[in-house]
Amino acid sequence: MKLSEISFLEASKLIKNVQGLPAKNIRIKSSVSLHQLHLYLKAFGAKSGLALNVEEIEFGTLRQSLYQEENEAKDIFILFPWDFLGSLDWRTGISSKSVNVSSALREIDDFFDLVSSKVGAIFFYLEAELPPVTGLKSDMYILQNHISLSAQRLNCFAWKSDFFCLKTYLANGCPFSSDSLSQVGENIVSNILKSKNSTKKVIVTDLDFTFWYGILGEDGSDGIKYLPDGAGYVHFIYQTYLRKLKESGILLCISSKNDADLVEAAFNDNQFIVNYDDFVSIQTSYNSKSSDIEKLSHELNLGLKDFVFIDDNPIEIEEVKTALPAVTCIQFPKETGQFGNMMQQIHTLFQTSKVTDEDKNRTSLYKRMKKSNLKFSHTETNIDTFLKSLEMEIELFERTAFDNERAVQLINKTNQFNSNGNRISKQHCDQMIDGGARLITAQLRDKNGEHGEILAILIDANSQILSFVMSCRVFQRQAEIIFLLTILKEFGVDYLSLPYIETDRNQPFKLFLSKLFRKVDNGCYDITSQLILDAYPSVQQILKVKGRLL
């Protein structure tokens, strides 16, 4: 069951508490019976703070209503394949005479012309299974595809065929399965509560593994990939689409946890499809992404509902969703096979029919008028619940001279979460281990898969940390916290002594120390278990530890 779904009993309880809520009338136009859906519509309306009054036309009178009644903006059309082509209705049986494809296509187009004239209405479509009304199976594909395309042209919110239930449709005229009614109700209510002008105005994009493939802070500006081959291909396509949106009047912004000079250098050193000046604002900091977006909202004098945030990191997505629910968040997929779905999501949000000269110049206009030095308050969000849902597990390993290559690579490659910026050769590392130092690493996995070896710490015989690094791929997961806590417990020591040296790039490490100590400067800090638990009381419920070192 999806988190948003509610049961029949829960829905019944919700609609009992609508007294005093503002009322909203909606009218559903459909060829089927949807009385069972009314309960869920009213329940999700109540959850949204509205007392919904649901009207429905008589069963089987959709076409008559299209000819006889004036359309109102509150009308909701729920369409099915047999609305476009009457012979596809299961309830009428299958004619002994096969449907002529050419005539059927004309009937589909006629219905499309009729319903598309209903300006201001909201359309939904169920991609139901079809009865075999043609002589050839290939002709059925033609009809099905033509109907689906017509539904897309209506900008319908579409449900897939697994929502369809032939048994209930034949029994009581409702084509939705009982298991799908909750989600159908939620989809309808969420769509009718959206602004009529749902086209967004601003895209805020992440950089690492979103605008390009790779980690700028580790791979350098010459190591990131964005060309139309290999790992960079989808990022190349993404950049081309951002350019298209920018030229049609959409404002592009960046929110990236990177250093400003590195980002600027990356744009100078590479020939991206979208260049540095194409962005109306570039936010580079180690603040929360929601803070960056809220700042942009003030700078551009645009509401948060106008913003779309795109990032590959699910934790960043959840943080923005929690702090700024009005912002539409889209996760850049890790799998190429999901890239097309993401592009369709974006395309749905940015609809343009005609591009004017004003649209083309909008970025320059907003750059000139952008507000500055506006103060606003921002409350950091608590995403512990989301972190727990990731089912994270960390496993620690003690490395020797025979298996420390990745750890040494991590120490030499990591810049942002790095305690001192010191580099170390494998030979020197081996010598320190022989002299009594201990090299501990950690691998992280969650319900979505493996993240590999992402932490490394080198500790001498006196419990002093010589090097402590973490890959920026797992920022905000609290892996470094449980890592230290486990080492303190496994080593049986009261504290670990951490010498900290500030570098040009390790601001994230300073932020980590700032959660434990009031003031952070170059110097040595004693980290204890109690200090960690006071700052992160829930960490042991968020991450599980596998195995033991000793």
Strand partners, 392: 543
Residue 378 pLDDT greater than 70, yes or no: no
Q: What is the DSSP string of 290-305?
A: HHHHHHHHHHHT--GG
**Average pLDDT score over residue span 10-19:** 84
pLDDT band at 57 (very low <50, low <70, confident <90, very high): confident
CATH 3.40.630.30 domain extents, the chain: 390-546
Reading the block at residue 321, the tokens are: 């969703």
Residue 73 pLDDT greater than 50, yes or no: no
Residue 392, Cβ density class (10 Å: 0-12 exposed, 13-18 middle, ≥19 buried): buried
| Amino acid (one-letter) located at 247 | E
pLDDT the model gives residue 70: 56
pLDDT band at 522 (very low <50, low <70, confident <90, very high): very high
Residue 347 pLDDT greater than 60, yes or no: yes
- Cα torsion angle, 242, 243, 246, 251, sign: positive
Give pTM, 2 decimals: 0.63
**Average pLDDT score over residue span 410-428:** 94
Tell me the C-alpha distance between 165 and 155, whole Å: 24
Residue 274 pLDDT greater than 50, yes or no: yes
CATH class of 202-381: alpha beta
CATH number of this structure's domain 8-192: 3.40.50.1110
Q: Quick one: what percent of the chain has pLDDT higher than 70?
A: 94
pLDDT band at 3 (very low <50, low <70, confident <90, very high): very low
- Tens digit of each residue's pLDDT (9 = 90 or more) over 117-151: 776 788 999 999 999 999 999 999 999 999 998 88
Tell me the C-alpha distance between 3 and 317, whole Å: 17
Least confident of 315-319, 367-371, 397-401, 462-466: 367-371
CB 147 within 8 A of CB 155: no
CB 328 within 8 A of CB 307: yes
Strand partners, 442: 396, 455
CATH 3.40.50.1000 domain extents, the chain: 202-381
Q: Which residue has the tokens 């591009």?
A: 355
Pick from 19, 10, 11: nearest CA to 51: 19
Least confident of 29-38, 371-380, 406-415, 536-545: 371-380
User: Was domain 390-546 assigned CATH 3.40.630.30?
Assistant: yes
pLDDT the model gives residue 105: 95
18 vs 483, higher pLDDT: 483
Long-range contacts of range 530-537, CB-CB < 8 Å, 24 or more positions apart? 532/481, 532/484, 532/485, 532/488, 533/485, 535/481, 536/478, 536/481
60 vs 140, higher pLDDT: 140
287 vs 395, higher pLDDT: 395
CATH 3.40.50.1110 domain extents, the chain: 8-192
